[in-house]
Amino acid sequence: MSAAPLLKVEGLRKTFKGLVAVDAVSFEVDEGSITAMIGPNGAGKTTTFNMIAGAMAPDSGEIALAGQSLAGLRADQVCHAGIGRTFQIVRPFPKLSVLDNVLIGGLRDGSSVATALRAARETLDLLGLGKSEDQPAGTLTLPERKRLEVARALACKPRLLLLDEVMAGLRPNETDELVATFRALNKDRGVTILLIEHVMRAVMALSDVVYVLNYGKMIAHGTPGEVVADPAVLECYLGEDTEI
Amino acid sequence: MSGDGAPGRFGLTGREQAALALFFGAMALAPLVVGDFLLSVLLIVFYFAFVGQAWNLMMGVAGQLSLGHALYVGLGAYAAAALYVHFGVPPLVGMVPAMAIAAAAGASIGFLAFRFRIGGVYFALLTIAFAEFTRILFSHIGWLGATEGFFLPVENRSDMDFVNLRGSPEMFYYILLALTGLALALVRGLMGSRLGYYWLAIREDETAAEALGINIFRTKMIAVMISAAMTALAGLVMAFYYNNLFPGDVFGMHRSIEIILAPIVGGLGTLFGPIIGAFVLGILGEGLTIALEAAGIATAGVKQLVYAVFLFAIVRFMPGGLWPFLATRLGFVRGGRK
């Protein structure tokens, strides 16, 4: 690790009524990288995301963005600090138009409504939702809503974009399209991306580094190639004594 | 698609502007042609259109259900009346503290609810509780007449003294008409602003709104305070129109309910809903009274029954309210958020 990481998470822990959801999780996301977090269902990925985004307070542990601690910040303050997020279970503003959904995100940096409107159209085009801008967001299909989540988070102009399973339910060609979009965002706009993903096709194609969570613990990390060959990772996905 | 959006995305379409100009023009001329009775009906209609707009801002736009708006009506009414009777402060000046007191009351309820994340029906219950205990409190304040009532001196019913709000029903009619127009302009302006978008976002999904950097607590507090201040102004006008105030009447639950009917019937969260709703309900209410009298039906409760059936019908067949229904048929509709 050369420069200081953009996101540094250390010893993060969260319990729900005695059940340990996230246990001593530490990891780093380098500026300009695309980092993936994978793991079986219930591994604690979304809980980790919620703590980073300020939607949930950790029991203990430290989260810092560019050296600044995010401790005690509310979700809106974390957004202003530079973290944009999507929700795994999508949360569009259903009765508002697709355009207004994204426009609202664009107001975050103090832009005027007119400026946010123009930026929203660009963001929608980038994600292929330009044709649907007048539709109420509640009428979109699930894959479209997933893209709307991304558009809205992007509209906040985050330094770090948290993507929670945005590929789920997409067809392979749609996945490839979105992968290309994220690549371009990462390269051209310099957006650092941390993603939770089950679609390995996307993880393999996108990530510089992959972290693997299982039962709330970080069990492995490395390049995508290293991680898929790690016995501990294979065990958690496929069970013990699996012959490959 | 529509490129730049419909004419004036944040403004009104030409058709809407024309309809509005026609409507307010006709209403401004109404006192010249209608009799005393009809004028008093129209006066009440505009009272409901105005407070309906105030309530609609909080519920229809920002999504915060208040069932205790009588609190703000009453605080505005009592504050201005007490300042006038006890200290000789004219209502034109007294409206400032009256609105401030109501806004402070709204802020207290908002603080309790939003600080501790009480939402939905629990928030609504809190608003009822505040209105109710204020009603009981005012029933015991001798300085304000307690249950015997608080009275303003009835004098000068012919002039138009806008400073002291002493004058004819025509004067009160024009004041309420002007307030309705101003409220419409204010809410329209707010809905196209950053604040308006924040309110809509909160109404739709608080968690998502917060993730987009919106300070939920502050944004909701502003909605409650603006709505409370507007409602207090309506209470003030009505206090000087009726010249008498009784806690059981002014702060009563029925006051809170009648305020919310016009925007619900007209169309929650729409700009014109409160006005349309107030008109339809006002005319229906008075029309029923006249029709029942003509038919010789004096049985108590018949009017309320017909009224209730009408409300059921609206909710059942036009769940979005009258305005969205009419707008589609009259060609006012366009994409987006109206």
Residue of A nearest to B338 (CA): A96
pLDDT score recorded for residue A242: 52
Residue pairs between chains A and B whose CB atoms are closer than 8 Å: 88
pLDDT tens-digit map of B160-189: 788 888 888 999 999 999 999 999 999 999
Does residue B213 register a pLDDT over 70? yes
Report the percent of chain A where pLDDT is more than 70.
97
CA A124 to chain CA centroid, nearest Å: 18
- Cβ proximity of A143 and A194 under 8 Å: no
Close Cβ partners of A157 (under 8 Å, ≥ 6 residues apart): A84, A106, A108, A109
Contact between chains at B9 and A117 (C-beta distance less than 8 A): yes
Other CB atoms within 10 Å distance of the CB of residue B317? 8
pLDDT band for position A236 (cuts 50, 70, 90): confident
Provide, as residue numbers in chain B, all residues whose Cβ is less than 8 Å from the Cβ of A91. 205, 207-208
Give the nearest partner residue to A113 out of B193, B207, B216, using CB atoms: B193
Shortest CB distance from B194 goes to which of A80, A95, A113?
A113
**What is the share, in percent, of chain B residues with pLDDT greater than 90?**
65
Does the distance separating the beta carbons of B335 and A97 come in below 8 Å?
yes
Is any Cβ of chain B less than 8 angstroms from the Cβ of A118?
no
Nearest chain A residue to B215, by CA: A76
Fold of A1-82+159-239: Rossmann fold (3.40.50)
Q: What percent of chain B has pLDDT over 70?
A: 94
- φ, ψ of residue B137 in degrees (nearest 5): -60, -50
Contact at CB, B1 and A96, closer than 8 angstroms = no
Segment B112-118 shows an average pLDDT of 91
> What's residue B13's pLDDT?
78
B336:A97 CB<8 A: yes
| Residues B182-208: tens digit of each pLDDT | 999 999 999 999 999 999 999 999 999
Give the model's pLDDT for residue B267: 93
List of chain B residues whose C-beta atoms are within 8 Å of the C-beta of residue A100: 197, 200, 336-337
Instruction: Considering only residues B14 and A23, tell me which one the structure prediction assigns the higher pLDDT.
Output: A23
Cβ contact (<8 Å) for A93 and B201?
Answer: yes
Tokens representing residue B316 in the block: 């059942």
Instruction: Specify the residue for token string 């419909």.
Output: B6
Give mean pLDDT, residues B92-107: 97
Closest residue in A to B9 (Cα–Cα): A114
At B336, the pLDDT band (50, 70, 90 cuts) reads very low
Contacts of A87 in chain B (CB under 8 A): 207-208, 211
Strands in chain B per DSSP E:
150-151, 160-161, 166-167, 244-245
- Chain segment B286-332, per-residue pLDDT in tens: 888 888 888 888 777 888 888 889 888 988 888 889 988 888 887 77
Query: Which residues on chain A are in Cβ contact (under 8 Å) with B6?
Result: none
| CA separation for the pair A122, A114 (Å, rounded) | 13
Residue B176: partners with Cβ closer than 8 Å, 6 or more residues away: B43, B46, B47, B49, B50, B234, B237
Mean pLDDT within B228-239: 97
Q: What is the pTM of this model?
A: 0.91
Average pLDDT over residues B247-268: 93
Cβ-count burial of A48 within 10 angstroms (0-12 exposed, 13-18 middle, 19+ buried)? buried
The reported pLDDT for the residue numbered B158 is 67
CA distance B7 to chain A (A): 14
Dihedral angle, C-alpha B135, B138, B140, B141, nearest 10 °: 180
Q: What is the mean pLDDT of residues B333-338?
A: 46
pLDDT-based confidence at residue A243 (cuts at 50, 70, 90):
low
Residue B5 in this model has a pLDDT that exceeds 50: no
Shortest CA distance from A74: residue in chain B: B210
- pLDDT range class, residue A7, cuts 50, 70, 90: very high
* pLDDT of B338: 39
pLDDT of residue B165: 86
Given a cut of 50, whether residue A69 has pLDDT beyond it is yes
> How high is the pLDDT of residue B16?
83
Residue of B nearest to A103 (CA): B197
Q: Is B3's pLDDT higher than 60?
A: no
Q: What is the pLDDT of residue B159?
A: 73
Q: Are A53 and B211 inside 8 Å of each other by CB?
A: yes
Q: Which pLDDT score, from 0 to 100, does residue A241 have? A: 59
Mean pLDDT of the B209-227 span: 97
A133-167 confidence digits (pLDDT tens)? 999 999 999 889 999 999 999 999 999 999 999 99
- Interchain CB contact of A80 with B (< 8 Å): yes
> What are the extents of the domains in chain A?
1-82+159-239, 92-157
Whole-number average pLDDT of chain B: 89
Residue A244 has pLDDT above 60, yes or no: no
> A15 pLDDT exceeds 90?
yes
Rounded to a whole number of angstroms, the distance from the CA of B191 to the nearest CA of chain A is 11
Confidence of residue B145 (pLDDT cuts 50, 70, 90): confident
- Asked if B205's CB is within 8 angstroms of A93's CB, the reply is yes
Residue ranges of alpha helices (H) inside B267-338 are 273-294, 302-317, 322-330
Angle at B319 between CA B314 and CA B320, to 5 degrees: 110
- A75 and B1 within 8 Å at the Cβ level: the answer is no
pLDDT at B4: 36
Contact criterion met (CB < 8 Å) for B208 and A91: yes
Distance from CA of A122 to the nearest CA of B (A): 13
Q: Quote the minimal CA–CA distance from A171 to chain B in Å.
A: 26
Is residue B267 within 8 A of residue B138, CB to CB? The reply is no
